[in-house]
Amino acid sequence: MTREATSLAGGGKPMFFGELGGTFSRRGSSVGMNMLNRLPLLLLPLLLVPPALGEEVAKPTGTYASVITRRAVENENMKGGLVRVTWSEIEPEPGKFDFSRIEQQVQLLKPDMNWTLAIHGGWTSTPSRANTQSRGNFSRRGRRPDSLAPNWLVSDFDVETFAMSFRGNPVAMPKYWDPVVQTRLKVMLQAVGERYRTDRLKMVYVPQMTSNGTEGHFNGVPPETLLRATGVNPRDRNAETKFGDLWLKASAEATQSVLDAFPGKAVAFEVHELLGSVEIPSRLVREFQKPEYDSRVGIGMWWISGKTTYQGDLIAILKEYPGDLYGQVIGRSDQQRRFENNDYSTVFAQAKELGMRYIEPWNYEFENHTCDEALQEFNASAYSMYSTE
C-alpha cells in the first residue's frame, strides 16, 4: 500500500505494507507464497484472510464548514458541514425529542455534501441575560443558548452538579461521572442514532460535560474546583490521577454510548489539557487506541492554529498518534493574531504535518473565499491519503 492509498480498515494515518503485523510486505511476498505451498489446503483460507482490524467505516475527509450556511455551501471547496445542536434542544423533555435543529442545518447542504454531528453537553443553568452574544459558534446566529444540557437533569433526575463560571456567568455543571448523566446521554444518543441512519452522516463527536459541551476543557475554571467536585483533596499528591480515573471512565462510557448508537460511523473525542497538564488527555489518546474500539474512535483537536506555543506538549503527543485526527480551526482568518506569524495558511501546514484527515474552517472562509487555494490543496492531499467516501 502506498501513501496515496487509504489505510487499512478505513482508519488511521496511512501505513506502508509491512508496518502492521500480519501483512505481507512486497519484499517478502515470494517467501510467503512458498510457505503457503507447503501447508495443507485446509489452512489456506485462514492465511489468505487478513487479520480483523475493525469494521470498514467511511470516515469524513477534507474540509467541512464548522457552521453550515447558505453562502458557505456555494463554495465548491466545502465538502460537507458540521451540524451543531445542544442536548437541551434535542431533548427538551425527558424522552421527547425534537430533531428540527438538525433538519434545518442538513437541509442547507447540497445533495452531494456529507455532514458530521456535534451534540453539545455541558452546563444546565441559564447564564445572565445581560450578555447574550456568544463568542462561541453554537449556531448560525452565534447566540449563546440558555443551557447546553437540559435543566430537567437536575429538576427531574436530581443529578449531581458543581458550581463553576462560564465566561463570567455562574452555571451548574452536571458531573460527567454521575451514572444518571451517563444513562440519560445513552438514551438521547440512541434516539438520534435511530433517526439518522443515513450514509451522509460520516462522524459523531462524543458529548462532554465541559465548558462548551464538545471540547474537552474547563478553561478559566480553577483546578481546585474540578478536584473538589470529585471529592478529591486538591492537596492530595495523587489528586490529578484520581480525577483522571473518574474522567477517563466517564469519557470511555460516553464514547461507547456513541459507538452503540451510531453503528458503522466514525466517532471523535475532542481533547484539551486538563488541570493544566497533558496527563489526562494523553491517557484518553491511549485509551481510544485499544482494540475494542475497532479503529472507529479518533481524536478531535478544535484549536489548530499553526502555533506550537499553545498546548505544545499535547501537539507533540498528537503528532505521534497513529489514529484519525479531526480538526477545527481556532478562529477566523481575519483574527490574525491567533495564527503562527499572523499567517492563516500555517493552519493547513500544521494539519498536514499532524496527518489530519479532516478539518473544519469557520464558515467565514467559505462564504468570503478567503483561502480557496489552500482549501483545494488540503482536500486534494487528504483525499489522496485517506478517502474511503
Q: What is the pLDDT of residues 341-359, one digit of tens each?
A: 999 999 999 999 999 999 9
Give average pLDDT by consecutive 10-residue segment, the chain, 389 residues. 37 44 33 41 38 67 98 98 98 98 98 97 66 41 73 95 90 97 98 96 98 95 96 93 97 98 97 96 97 96 97 97 97 97 98 97 98 98 83
Pull the grid cell for residue 171: 452555571
Which amino acid, residue 267?
V
Query: Which H or E element spans position 83?
Result: strand 80-86
The per-residue pLDDT for 143 is 55
- Span 69-107, pLDDT tens digits: 999 999 999 999 999 999 999 999 999 999 999 999 999
pLDDT at position 129? 38
Q: Are 239 and 233 in contact (CB under 8 A)?
A: yes
What's the full length of the chain, in residues? 389
| Portion of the chain with pLDDT greater than 70, in percent | 80
pLDDT of amino acid 167 = 83
Q: Which residues pair with 137 in a beta bridge?
A: none
Angle between helix 179-195 and helix 239-261 axes, rounded to 10 deg: 30
- What pLDDT, on the 0 to 100 scale, is given for residue 253? 98
Measured CA to CA, the distance from residue 165 to residue 170 in angstroms comes to 4
Q: Which residue has the cell 472507529?
A: 296
pLDDT of amino acid 169: 85
Q: What is the DSSP letter of 24?
A: P
**Which residue reads 471512565 in cell numbers?**
249
- Closest Cα partner for 88 from 151, 139, 140, 133? 151
